[in-house]
Amino acid sequence: MAMSETRNLTGAQALVESLERLGVEVAFGIPGGAILPAYDPLFDSKVRHVLVRHEQGAGHAAEGYSLVTGKVGVCIATSGPGAT
């Protein structure tokens, strides 16, 4: 895409595209609430989603993934319990 071209993206599309550009291969999370719109573009992306039982588990899984692989560990959480 040329520098002068622009695209309209939703926030969810921009989020997932950013993860792909940064080389993220795996994201741990649970869909729900405010983060739910991000799951549509995530489904169609190269980023593999690992469903966890709760947000705390996603954080621990992302940290463990990072420690074992040396790659970025990504945790996807929603508002409410996931953010507090």
Half-sphere exposure of 3 (CA within 13 A, CB side): 0
**CB–CB of 28/65 below 8 Å?**
yes
**CB–CB of 24/72 below 8 Å?**
yes
pLDDT at 6: 83
- Name the CATH superfamily, with its identifier, for domain 11-82: Thiamin diphosphate (ThDP)-binding fold, Pyr/PP domains (3.40.50.970)
Sign of CA dihedral 23, 80, 39, 2: negative
pLDDT at 3: 66
pLDDT at 18: 97
How do the domains of the chain map onto residue ranges?
A: 11-82
Q: Which parts of the chain register pLDDT below 50?
A: none
For the stretch 64-78, pLDDT in tens is 999 999 999 999 998
pLDDT at 73: 95
pLDDT at 81: 64
**CB–CB of 43/76 below 8 Å?**
no
pLDDT at 2: 59
